[in-house]
Amino acid sequence: MSETVAPFVDSRTYARRWWTLGVLCLSLVLIGLDNTVLNVALPTIQRTFHASASDLQWMVDAYVLVFAGLLLTMGALGDRFGRARALQAGLLIFAAASLTAPLATSIGHLIAVRVAMGVGGALIMPSTLSVIANVFPKAERGKAITVWAGVSGIGIGLGPLVGGLLIQNFDWSAIFLLNVPIAAVALLLGWFLVPESRDPSGARLDLPGAVLSIGAVGALVYGIIEAPVDGWTDPLILACFGAALVLGLAFAWRETHTHAPMLDLSLFRSRRFTAGAGGIALTFFAMFGMIFGLTQYLQFVLGKTALEAGALMLALAVGMPIGARISLKAVEHFGTNKTMAGGLVLVALLLLSLTRWTPSMDALVVSGTLFFFALAMANVMAPGTGAVMGAVPEAKAGVGSAMNDLLRQLGGALGVAVIGSVINTVYRDRMTDAVAGLPPAAAAAAHDSVGAAVTIGNQVGGPAGQALAGVARAGFVDALGAAALLAAGVAVLTAAFVARVMPARAPEAEPEGASPTTRADRPTLAPGR
């Protein structure tokens, strides 16, 4: 793939690059916050709309499915028509969808709102990282991506706390309306501070490739989401995985037989790209899967309220930017491979510590573990993202960013599915004898959910109720430990892969302090507004 470049970046764009980064980070916080703030409101939404468990699942999963399926296409659209335009369009769609949520009269309307938000998110997320790649010179790009990676975890960590505060003081619609002022500020500031940039080649969008990528990713994500419910060998799930494989192969064939591919598959020949992308995907596998289990542990085993659980998980938001900053110095001294591998080994050790947890673990230990978990994660995410983006031609930064984001989403979705399945399987095994004397409906509920078992135990009362709740809590802790062992094993194998495949340094380094007016490797920045 050839890359057409302009001889320089205008001095005005360069001078306000850090302000630009601030706007991009604000947009990124919006996405991260929305991913977790909804979970706290689900019980309230269920009561308001008399929603089924399947309805609630699709409120979460509809967003993930649309977001992941459209990422590559939206990244390519940003490269073709302008990344700032893509960011602005995404913020508008996201805000407009959020604004209609309080008007909902059914759970179907809210699911449709989440679908629209998924479209907006797919425009926003790759635009933030691709603009960074086109505004910052290589000497500063690592620092900017480190800030981006650190901020990406802040919204995730803040979500449960913010959601708890909103639900405690307002109704469920507040979690949607929260998005509107954030998006409005990002839109206003972005109009003045985010410069337009695009692929200067002017190549047309690869429509067949876009359709195939949407189909392949959509089928894969749907199968991953539904597998824990329907079973991994269910005919529909196997059909989804088969369709994803066929469409994925067709996409690969298309991209290697067209003059203007949407995704240049030769990127995977780069060890930095492959190791960075693989490390990020498998790290998100461990992180999202364990957060899924820890939220239940905090509320159902330790008995914390949603607000208290959110406050404890704030440690994630604090640890992520600190860890990202540490990663800068670590990469400088030890190289990308050792920094990422070291972060993954620390992730594995922290996960192994979960096998020693009890149903009465001190909350400070939990919060401290989450803080160091975020610290370790950031030492994988920031260098890994930098490696991926460093291997992608700047003219294709949108697609490169989308690929980075897609692998995060796929890793996270697979983590929730696989680790969630392990937790459910071990928990049910521990509960088989404990529910034998209950009425059929109560037995089925307690056998499937630690939350239901604790509630039923409280309703039964007395020694029998206490015994049921105690067995449920202990069974869930055992299940969490088994899942942690699996996640730790994945982290160790990923560490070995990164240490072996990832080069310690980038093949070329731009001298510190390189002037933007002397660079000859920059894509076209469109005229300012």
What are the Cα distances from residue 405, in Å, to 245, 354, 384, 478? Answer: 20, 28, 12, 32
Residue 361 has pLDDT above 50, yes or no: yes
- CA of residue 104 relative to chain centroid, distance: 27
Question: How many Cα atoms within 13 Å fall on the side-chain side of residue 399?
Answer: 26
Average pLDDT across the chain, whole number: 85
Residue 52 has pLDDT above 80, yes or no: no
Q: At 196, which amino acid appears?
A: E
Task: Note the maximum CA span of the chain.
Answer: 78
- pLDDT mean over 68-85: 89
Shared-domain flag, residues 257 and 382: no
Domain ends where: 167, 182, 199?
A: 199
Domain ends where: 182, 199, 216?
A: 199
Pick left, alpha or beta for residue 195 (phi over 0 → left; psi -120 to 50 → alpha; otherwise beta). Answer: beta
d(CA 400, CA 76): 9
Shared-domain flag, residues 319 and 220: no
pLDDT in tens, 462-513: 888 899 999 999 999 999 999 999 999 999 999 999 999 999 887 754 433 3
Structural domain count of the chain:
3
* Domain contains 35: yes
The predicted pLDDT at position 10 comes to: 67
- pLDDT mean over 185-210: 86
- pLDDT mean over 267-288: 87
DSSP-derived 3-state class of residue 40? helix
CATH number of the domain at 137, please. 1.20.1250.20
Percent of the chain with pLDDT over 90: 36
- pLDDT mean over 335-340: 94
* Domain contains 104: yes
* Domain contains 180: yes
Shared-domain flag, residues 214 and 188: no
Domain residue limits at 210 = 206-261
Residue 5 has pLDDT above 50, yes or no: no
The predicted pLDDT at position 185 comes to: 96
* Domain contains 8: no
Q: Residue 89: which H helix or E strand, with range?
A: helix 83-100
Residue 3 has pLDDT above 70, yes or no: no
DSSP state string for 420-465: HHHHHHHHHHHHTTTTTTS-HHHHHHHHH-HHHHHHHHHHH-HHHH
The predicted pLDDT at position 187 comes to: 94
pLDDT in tens, 253-275: 998 988 888 888 888 888 999 99
The predicted pLDDT at position 443 comes to: 87
pLDDT in tens, 83-96: 999 999 999 999 99
- pLDDT mean over 410-421: 84
Residues 68, 409 contacting (CB under 8 angstroms): yes
pLDDT in tens, 205-236: 788 988 999 999 999 988 888 887 788 899 99
* Domain contains 81: yes
Residue 316 has pLDDT above 80, yes or no: yes
* Per-residue 3-state assignment (H helix, E strand, C coil) for 343-391: HHHHHHHHHHHHHHCCCCCCHHHHHHHHHHHHHHHHHHHHHHHHHHHHH
Percent of the chain with pLDDT over 70: 93
Domain ends where: 178, 199, 220?
A: 199
Shared-domain flag, residues 339 and 472: yes
The predicted pLDDT at position 2 comes to: 38
pLDDT in tens, 100-155: 999 998 999 999 999 999 999 999 988 988 898 888 888 888 889 888 888 877 87
Q: pTM here?
A: 0.82
Q: Which of 27-31, 283-287, 361-365, 468-472 has the lowest average pLDDT?
A: 283-287
- pLDDT mean over 156-182: 87
d(CA 166, CA 182): 15
Shared-domain flag, residues 246 and 218: yes
Q: Which residues pair with 525 in a beta bridge?
A: 197
522 phi and psi angles, rounded to 5 deg: -110, 140
The predicted pLDDT at position 403 comes to: 84
Shared-domain flag, residues 401 and 462: yes
* Domain contains 342: yes
* Domain contains 19: yes
Question: How many Cα atoms within 13 Å fall on the side-chain side of residue 75?
Answer: 31
What are the Cα distances from residue 173, in Å, to 25, 37, 44, 104? Answer: 25, 12, 10, 9
Shared-domain flag, residues 274 and 348: yes
Shared-domain flag, residues 157 and 277: no
DSSP-derived 3-state class of residue 178? coil
Shared-domain flag, residues 237 and 384: no
Could you tell me which of 158, 140, 159 has the C-alpha nearest to residue 39?
159
* Domain contains 518: no
The predicted pLDDT at position 55 comes to: 79
**Continuous H helices in 449-522:** 450-460, 462-501
pLDDT in tens, 12-48: 777 888 999 999 999 988 888 877 788 778 778 888 8
Of 452 and 373, which is predicted with more confidence?
373
pLDDT in tens, 294-311: 878 888 899 888 788 888
Shared-domain flag, residues 57 and 98: yes
Shared-domain flag, residues 192 and 238: no
Shared-domain flag, residues 27 and 126: yes
